[in-house]
Structure 1
Amino acid sequence: MNPPVDTSFFQLAGVPNPEEDSQLAELEEEARDYVRTRPWSKPIREMMLAYGLGRILALFLVRFEEPIRWEGEEDAELWIVVGDLPPAYFGTDDSPNPAEALETYCVFMEDWADRILEGRHLEDAYPIAAAPTEEHARMLKSRIEFIRQEIIPTIEVGPANDNGRAIR
């Protein structure tokens, strides 16, 4: 099991805008529902907003009461992405901060979109609950480009960790 993600630089509370705070609260409920409907789900100990942008995107770190065990590994926390894009969950092992978590999300989504646009099979791609059409793939690629160009560069991730990972 990985060490817990450092949450000291998370957005956590909303933004000084009541409308956007309301939108982020809706996305938090969507993320909770998403987690609860997964077959592996465990009781949630806490869910923290790592990054949010109105109805567009929210990244949450979910910590569970007990670790989730699968394929010889266990995770006590996962990243959850929701918003105006396909929801997803994934571990924190390769993405210990919000910026790297959003890049991991982009990699998973881009792989799905590229497979569709190239006419390849989706059997090993991250499962997305959307029709595998060229239109959906192009829409997703547009959102990925926005996340990479406009969101990830703005996220503060804090001091370097023990692994010497770069900080923004």
Structure 2
Amino acid sequence: MTLKPDLSKTFEWNKYFVNAGASDPDAKSIEALHQEARAFLESFAWCNSIIEDRIGFVCPGIVGVFLFKFVVTTKEREDWVWVLTGDIPPAYIACEDSPNPATALDAYIGAMQEWVEAAERGAATGHLIPVNVDPTPENAARLKVRLDFLDEKTLSGYGEDLKA
């Protein structure tokens, strides 16, 4: 079982969407990111059922960082995982070293940068975080632009959270 993440840095999805989502002009985009994250997690055989879903933060159309509590099929126990979706390859990040949304995004960026570096060199990527495109230098360049943007424009505002 993973460590429980810092829930004070997240919002219950249903409460968020009822309270803020109805008046948010980006509500449809945010809901689409959430649905993509749920579908991504549910695509894994080890995810039996989602018990709770929370929103970490969202930049509509760019990235959504969601937290899910779910039942693991192999051991019938509860677990937590971050799922990131958007204009990036979807991925999940374990909570052990990522207690809050900013650290989850930071871990995602780091893992994806390893993939970018390997793809740029033409090296094997099978042992790295899965990416839903071929590991070509062109795909690496496109992903690198997105990762740099997330690092410089999004994470720069979460300095204190990154110290967790």
Structure 2, unaligned stretches of length 5 or more?
none
What secondary structure, in the 3-state scheme, does the structure 2 residue paired with 1:19 have?
Answer: coil
Residue 54 (1) aligns with residue 57 (2) = no
4+ residue runs over 2 A deviation: 9-19, 66-70, 155-158
- What is aligned with 1:123? 126
Residue 63 (1) aligns with residue 69 (2) = yes
Distance 2:68 2:145 in 1: 27
Shift of 1:95: 0.8
Distance 1:121 1:33 in 2: 28
- The CA RMSD over aligned residues, in Å, is 2.4
Letter in 2 for 1:5: P
Distance 1:151 1:10 in 2: 16
Output one character per residue of 1:46-79: Cα deviation in whole Å (capped at 9) or x when no partner.
Answer: 1111010101100000001x34658xxx761001
Residue 166 (1) aligns with residue 163 (2) = yes
Residue 107 (1) aligns with residue 110 (2) = yes
Letter in 2 for 1:22: K
Residue 44 (1) aligns with residue 50 (2) = yes
Structure 1, unaligned stretches of length 5 or more?
159-164
- What is aligned with 1:162? none
Given that 1:27 and 1:82 are in contact with CA atoms closer than 8 Å, whether structure 2 keeps it comes out as: yes
Letter in 2 for 1:24: I
What secondary structure, in the 3-state scheme, does the structure 2 residue paired with 1:2 have?
Answer: coil
Cα 1:68–1:94 change in 2 (3 A) is: farther
- What is aligned with 2:100? 97
Cα 1:11–1:144 change in 2 (3 A) is: farther
Given that 1:20 and 1:53 are in contact with CA atoms closer than 8 Å, whether structure 2 keeps it comes out as: no
Shift of 1:94: 0.9
Identity %: 27
Distance 2:134 2:107 in 1: 22
Deviates more, 1:29-38 or 1:13-22: 13-22
Shift of 1:11: 5.5
Candidates 78, 83, 86, aligned match of 2:86: 83
Deviates more, 1:147-156 or 1:134-143: 147-156
- What is aligned with 1:146? 149
Distance 2:27 2:50 in 1: 22
- What is aligned with 1:20? 26
- What is aligned with 2:6? 6
Cα 1:68–1:90 change in 2 (3 A) is: farther
**TM-score normalised over the length of structure 1:** 0.83
Shift of 1:87: 0.1
Shift of 1:10: 2.3
Distance 2:121 2:25 in 1: 40
- What is aligned with 1:161? none
Letter in 1 for 2:140: A
